[in-house]
Structure 1
């Protein structure tokens, strides 16, 4: 074989290793590595198939049969190594599932004898090193016995979705590691241990390893999986506590359920736990959001590695002694593939999962199906009941889900349930997948919002609050925030100039100045208004579309949020341009007037113009941003897909607001300082308007200072949600 052909095999193997290490589910395409040379093609193809088989059967859902390769490459059947490739398939499959020789040979009846001889000659038909022999049947296994490296201490119970005859879970001591583990012994074979062993996340139960087992003289095959032991019980116990509890239903309810589960196992609850102290202070809706946030993060972690859960239900949510939730049985599907709907296996199914049960040609569910199932589980934790009264028939259950959450279910929401949590869960349970949260990361961020009282009140204000109604008056409020300070500044500037400059002019000169100034202002203000409407167009159109049910892309929503944060800066630039043009128009108008204006008068004209311009810039910026951050910007956060860029923009806005507040504080000082430059006669002439400026700007400063403090509080709250890792002192187990 030439070096180039050997390199083709090496590249294929390296690309497979890269795919595995990256957690992706997109294996390299074998056909791209097969050479065209007829002499070496078959030999290289056989080696490539052998590599592909080994790696594919290590990944759930990717296993490929030899006959599939034969359909794609017919010459494989002519290879002298064809029987050996069948042996390779048998060995690869046996490492990941319970597979007996006769069952495998039945799949290839025409080659059964040859394959049997080859398996016997190579020893592949015998138990390999990874198979554990147990000399008793599964029902006969009991606490006190030793299975391989494990001393079985007590039975932890039968997971929901499993039958006692097919799966049992024990608390065991692993001798070699001197640690407590949970050991699940089950009959049959599934691929999920391979999947879970690759996942390392604080909210996913850690699977350490697994073994293929043979029960009672190889009569039956199964699997032994040992994993992280969690003493806090499951969400099933929490639900029972929720339904039966007559005491407080805050975070202490979750802790009571965990403590009861630990007590039944003889465990002692931890002392001085910051996590437990945090949970104890939460209301029950906040507790549900706290749990949901961590489970959503786990779903996102698994999804980014190409793994769906597919079996979210109370028994698969386990708790540590501190109350931290963890997902178990990742990629375990015990409810898919059947046409009968059962409360045990199908009650947490999404509409698309039920549709798939009824029609195998229906679209394959994706991660949004897991988000729907998580929404059902969290709704049940919140209210004590599921939102749907499911029928035993799959078609009826599917119809219930497609109709959406009924009003009777909404009435069961706790009185203290925040509007934000209600919205988040209803979005999880949207029948249309496009209207659901697109990923676990987006959902986790929404739960962060639910857990921050100030932020959630900004995003989902009470229905009859002033802030909610003020959202409808966007154009008017922003227009007033710009127009009122500019109008007051203009009036002062006109009065100041009238007393010191224009009063000395002839009527003709006065009319000339008024004409030039009016023309400049009309053009200037018209262009400014057009530009403001252009920069704020999304703030006008998108909220209206959202109320009408329009679905916007994440990119459009991101641009809208960015426009809202930057609108104050853009308005300031436009206003600055307007005052600049207005300031220049006066000297231009004076050029054609036969009136002498002293340098002293020009200096005071520009000083007055600068002070009034500062008023026209500072106050619109602060007023606009107070209104936008308090009423407009948060409404876009309720639609998810929030990027880290939002947090950066808000942080920069906070710094700019601080700088503009210094400008607001300087205006009264500048007005007084400007007065010191006037001669006594001129000072006496404008003392009234000067006092109005000084006192008015001081009162205005105190007013915007109050707004600034509220704005600062709003920005900090939104920053905690958008960048929770930057929040000091946050407990995030």
Structure 2
């Protein structure tokens, strides 16, 4: 290969430069360590001068590593004057000095910094900065040992070379004892990778089986699950051969099928997963892939393993289309000298904190800080995932770096600066699912780690919203929507409407009902009755004590007609019984007294019940994570509101009935007191039911999405959801039974005022029907939204329930 054999890039960008660099390093593997610098310099392609400077520096690093591997630590002077056209001797890059210094240290040499000051006087000022750099290790850089396809090594028969990196080669092999196909990674150095990865068992992570050490020649054989569908990077290459507007899940499967044929693997004839992926629009295909990769990262992070190198080349695709992560970079940082091979392909996907760490290897990696300059954590992997998914969605990476770096350090700085630029998709989102996908990716690609999803589970939940754009609007309602308008009202006001309005209506109804009952049965004057009728309790002279009831003072009941209901307010000409009836005179102040006590107590308890809801909503509006106890309070605000109403009504009923029975022991018997008590309990039951449904609808449909939105996580969602469904059913039954019980009590009530009873029964039936309709509507709405939430937040989502696209991520084959 010579300088004329490398095509000039069409688009001279940093990404293009690194793509060419990878090609150059691939060609250099057969040459390094080179016998002469002149032979090595022939690999520098004819590209932009700044790109040539970058490639020349990385070629020198590559050769330095190869030389150390063979036991000879070279000096930089070996490469001059051959490389002088690209790297003048007085302009040697800073990172080349670090590379030579660290490789010599790793080879056991004593390095004197005075030597560097004398050798490179033009950069002597820089050498003072090198003293704090960490010691590196000599690493093989020739792509790993070469083996012949068809030979057997240990328990493995090599069938095909699948690929190679800077330090290893990967073969398709048959494990003879197990009679299974495996991917065999062959290298000449060991690592902690097998120990770290062998405990990972997830359907979206390539399973590492074990590692063997071969003695002659000394090789490390890491064998893992063989995934035949190719890499996501290859899929992207195939997609770019077609207009982006035509991309779909079918194109993903075509790329996989091509890889299956090349690997001589059968294409599945029927697969439920493939049949659904086939019909997916491209944004939903990207979301589907992202959900599974996010869940895989979440699983790995919970096992204490970071990937640190998430990119399309490290995502394999199964024959079913399921993505699988591979090549976890389990070391906490790349050692000095790995930059050319690691960052040549991974720089564009690195998080800001990875780039900062590359620029300053002495950065504090033990600090708990998650700032862009602090230690690497799960959010770093999630940032890289965001870059990968953006590229998969748009066909290009989120940041297009137009300047050409002159060396590796400058390339890192340019990439770091680009991360602060605003994200603007080249192809704007059109469908609602695309808007949801874009918003999820915007979260993943935040420069500040604290503003990104804090776990893979949260990232997966946000990506699931691409399948449910109507649910995405609930989590981020617009100000013009009903939910958005209600959400901006004070929580106290909305809650007061839902709680106090049913209670005020029920209280007024109960007050009028008992007032008329007392007036009709205890206080009705004879002059208001039909001719020839009299009440046992209401003869002239006042109500009759049971001991005074004789045949001489009781008239016969009427034979025809009915008595009109008594209206105390209209009783002005018959002695003004509304004012002179002792029982009504006692009832009125008693009602006022109870109300003046119960309502203030209810208001105080109302604030106690609503406080967790108000606090959780306030935190959600500020983008803060609500603690579990606040979320518990939100889920329980409906049942607590109902319990508050039920308790206060029950106490009021007991006070009313007990006071009336105590004040009129002869006239107001215990049967009358029980009837009085039950009437209040039934009214309170109705008020409790509608307070429950009102507050549950408000808290779960309007408030809960805002509270959960900052994290998209609710660890106790499944248990809370099951409990809420049970409560919804109980209160729906109560919404039917309580009014029917009241109607039954009216129908079996013994009274001479039949017409009034008929009117009350008719009114009760109408109110019951209307109320039951409202309750059933709220019941259906709550259960529907709980189902929808389960698709995003539940650990065991419901069954797929759509016609042509998944309501949830597709099920995966066993891992």
Q: Same fold (TM over 0.5)?
A: yes
The 1:611/1:211 distance shift into structure 2, 3 A limit, reads closer
| 1:384-423 matches, cutoff 5 A | 384-390=395-401, 392=405, 393-402=411-420, 406-409=422-425, 412-413=428-429, 415-417=431-433, 420-423=436-439
| Cα deviations by residue, 1:583-624 (Å, 9 ceiling, x for unpaired) | 234346547867974436545433432321221111111222
Contact (CA 8 Å) 1:562, 1:646: kept in 2 or not?
no
Residue number among 764, 772, 783 corresponding to 1:701 in the alignment:
772
**What residue number does 2:629 align with?**
559
Q: Quick check: which one's helix share is greater?
A: 1
**What residue number does 1:544 align with?**
618
Q: Does 1:381 align with 2:392?
A: yes
The 1:151/1:678 distance shift into structure 2, 3 A limit, reads closer
What is the CA distance between 1:330 and its match in structure 2?
1.2
**What residue number does 1:526 align with?**
600
| Cα deviations by residue, 1:232-252 (Å, 9 ceiling, x for unpaired) | 011112323444434654432
**What residue number does 1:152 align with?**
158
Q: What are structure 2's unaligned runs of at least 5 residues? A: 1-103, 112-141, 364-373, 406-410, 524-576, 801-809
Residue number among 572, 577, 586 corresponding to 2:642 in the alignment:
572
User: SS in structure 2 opposite 1:681?
Assistant: coil
Contact (CA 8 Å) 1:302, 1:308: kept in 2 or not?
yes
| Cα deviations by residue, 1:351-386 (Å, 9 ceiling, x for unpaired) | 111111122232321222112212221222222222
| Cα deviations by residue, 1:677-696 (Å, 9 ceiling, x for unpaired) | 23353232354344222211
User: SS in structure 1 opposite 2:398?
Assistant: coil
Contact (CA 8 Å) 2:653, 2:678: kept in 1 or not?
no
The 1:514/1:250 distance shift into structure 2, 3 A limit, reads farther
**What residue number does 2:282 align with?**
284
C-alpha distance in 2 between matches for 1:173 and 1:511: 99
| 1:215-230 matches, cutoff 5 A | 223-230=220-227
Contact (CA 8 Å) 2:382, 2:456: kept in 1 or not?
yes
Contact (CA 8 Å) 2:250, 2:278: kept in 1 or not?
yes
| Cα deviations by residue, 1:110-165 (Å, 9 ceiling, x for unpaired) | xxxxxxxxxxxxxxxxxxxxxxxxxx99686454455554443333244xxx35xx
The 1:575/1:278 distance shift into structure 2, 3 A limit, reads same
Contact (CA 8 Å) 2:212, 2:221: kept in 1 or not?
yes
What is the CA distance between 1:572 and its match in structure 2?
1.2
| 1:330-409 matches, cutoff 5 A | 330-331=328-329, 344-362=345-363, 363-390=374-401, 392=405, 393-402=411-420, 406-409=422-425
What TM-score do you get using the length of structure 2 for normalisation?
0.65
Bigger radius of gyration: 2
Q: What are structure 1's unaligned runs of at least 5 residues? A: 1-101, 110-135
User: SS in structure 2 opposite 1:567?
Assistant: helix
What is the CA distance between 1:265 and its match in structure 2?
3.0
Contact (CA 8 Å) 2:229, 2:259: kept in 1 or not?
yes
Aligned length: 591
User: SS in structure 2 opposite 1:525?
Assistant: helix
| 1:592-611 matches, cutoff 5 A | 597-599=667-669, 601-611=672-682
| 1:526-675 matches, cutoff 5 A | 526-549=600-623, 551-552=624-625, 556-587=626-657, 590=660, 597-599=667-669, 601-640=672-711, 642-675=713-746
C-alpha distance in 1 between matches for 2:383 and 2:793: 23
C-alpha distance in 2 between matches for 1:427 and 1:225: 36
C-alpha distance in 2 between matches for 1:298 and 1:137: 28
| 1:183-198 matches, cutoff 5 A | 183-186=184-187, 190-198=191-199
The 1:465/1:455 distance shift into structure 2, 3 A limit, reads same
Deviates most, 316-325 or 360-369: 360-369
Q: Does 1:496 align with 2:507?
A: no
Contact (CA 8 Å) 1:568, 1:624: kept in 2 or not?
yes
Contact (CA 8 Å) 1:387, 1:409: kept in 2 or not?
yes
What is the CA distance between 1:274 and its match in structure 2?
2.4
What is the CA distance between 1:208 and its match in structure 2?
3.3
**What residue number does 1:52 align with?**
none
Q: Does 1:470 align with 2:496?
A: no
Contact (CA 8 Å) 1:372, 1:428: kept in 2 or not?
yes
C-alpha distance in 2 between matches for 1:507 and 1:604: 24
**What residue number does 2:299 align with?**
301
Q: Does 1:171 align with 2:172?
A: yes
What is the CA distance between 1:332 and its match in structure 2?
5.2
User: SS in structure 2 opposite 1:347?
Assistant: helix
C-alpha distance in 2 between matches for 1:336 and 1:372: 22
The 1:590/1:155 distance shift into structure 2, 3 A limit, reads same
What TM-score do you get using the length of structure 1 for normalisation?
0.72
C-alpha distance in 2 between matches for 1:180 and 1:588: 84
Contact (CA 8 Å) 1:285, 1:416: kept in 2 or not?
no
Contact (CA 8 Å) 2:208, 2:224: kept in 1 or not?
yes
| Cα deviations by residue, 1:482-521 (Å, 9 ceiling, x for unpaired) | 2232222222212212221146364265455333322322
**What residue number does 2:25 align with?**
none
User: SS in structure 2 opposite 1:173?
Assistant: strand
**What residue number does 1:507 align with?**
579
Deviates most, 197-206 or 232-241: 197-206
User: SS in structure 1 opposite 2:316?
Assistant: strand
Deviates most, 627-636 or 386-395: 386-395
Deviates most, 291-300 or 348-357: 291-300
C-alpha distance in 1 between matches for 2:656 and 2:466: 55
Q: Which has the higher contact order (CA 8 A, sep 6+)?
A: 2
**What residue number does 1:239 align with?**
236
What is the CA distance between 1:711 and its match in structure 2?
1.4
What is the CA distance between 1:452 and its match in structure 2?
5.7
**What residue number does 1:43 align with?**
none
User: SS in structure 1 opposite 2:182?
Assistant: strand
C-alpha distance in 2 between matches for 1:624 and 1:342: 54
User: SS in structure 2 opposite 1:170?
Assistant: strand
